[in-house]
Amino acid sequence: MAFTDELFTRAQPIWDAQLAHPFVIGLGDGSLPEARFRNWICQDYLYLKDFARIFAWAVAKSDRLESMGWYAGVLHLTLNTEMALHREYANGFGIPAAELETTPLWPTTRAYVDFLLRTAADGDMADLTAVLLPCSWGYVYVAQHLAARSAGSKHRYTDWIVQYVSPEFVDAADWLKGETNRLADGLSAQKRERLLSLFETSSRYEWQFWEMCWHGERWPV
């Protein structure tokens, strides 16, 4: 069994809970209220800024030139493709560019990116890939399930689904899975358990991100 299969088995209840979340269901069938999708646009835009920094850490920490080049390419994809699509979404939903830049990080977004950045700074490359995968692979996983459910029907969120089932994003997730398996090869049982725990924590934050965007979130004081 590949190590990524172990990761998936560990977190599958959380990933299945994402598919059952009302935000994700509404994203898939087009019934998601626009105000809730606006929450996602703004918070995910801020999240992507720090997500991109994780790939910059990965370039610096990689153990081989091939990996350095790949992480640099995904850094470019995130900054210039995924974030550009967010700006297009924002424009289509009447969110000014200035609002994207000035919206405050909500508590869950802050906690998630801080967890990722701390792991990238203090951990090794196996740690880093373990915390990246639930976002990179997880969005492809969610979008593929939504695409299967929609059976080709079109609605206002179809572009979101199409983006994350595109070969560009699927190939990126597959490469990162392969890299995680390579880095996990020969590791001790204790280290593998740490990676499983990191993956599980990131997966929980992914579910919590949908929950935050569904309900809205503010600092209580």
Q: pLDDT of 102-151, one tens digit each?
A: 999 999 999 999 999 999 999 999 999 999 999 999 999 999 999 998 87
pTM of the model: 0.94
- Distance in angstroms (rounded) separating the CA atoms of residues 60 and 179: 16
Q: Quick check: 66 and 75 in contact, CB under 8 A?
A: no
CATH (domain of 35): 1.20.910.10
Candidates 42, 82, 179, 206; catalytic one: 206
Q: Which of 78, 89, 135, 143 is nearest to 112 (CA)?
A: 135
DSSP code string of 6-27: HHHHHHHHHHHHHHTSHHHHHH
Domain region containing 197: 3-215
* Confidence check: pLDDT of 214 > 90: yes
CA distances 65 to 69, 71, 96, 129, 207, Å, are 6, 10, 40, 16, 34
| Average pLDDT for the chain | 93
- Structural domain contains residue 211: yes
Half-sphere exposure of 73 (CA within 13 A, CB side): 13
Number of Cβ within a 10 Å radius of residue 190: 7
Q: What is the pLDDT of residue 1?
A: 86
List, in sequence order, every beta strand (DSSP E) within 10-101: none
- Structural domain contains residue 220: no
| Residue that the structure tokens 């996602």 belong to | 40
Query: Does 66 participate in catalysis according to the annotation?
Result: no
CA distances 116 to 38, 42, 149, 151, 156, Å, are 24, 19, 31, 35, 31
Handedness of CA 73, 78, 80, 85 (dihedral sign): positive
- Distance in angstroms (rounded) separating the CA atoms of residues 218 and 104: 9
- What is the domain count for the chain? 1
- Distance in angstroms (rounded) separating the CA atoms of residues 170 and 139: 9
Candidates 42, 82, 135, 179; catalytic one: 135
Q: What is the pLDDT of residue 15?
A: 98
- Structural domain contains residue 63: yes
> 85 CB contacts (<8 Å, ≥6 apart)?
159, 163
Query: Does 42 participate in catalysis according to the annotation?
Result: no
- Structural domain contains residue 221: no
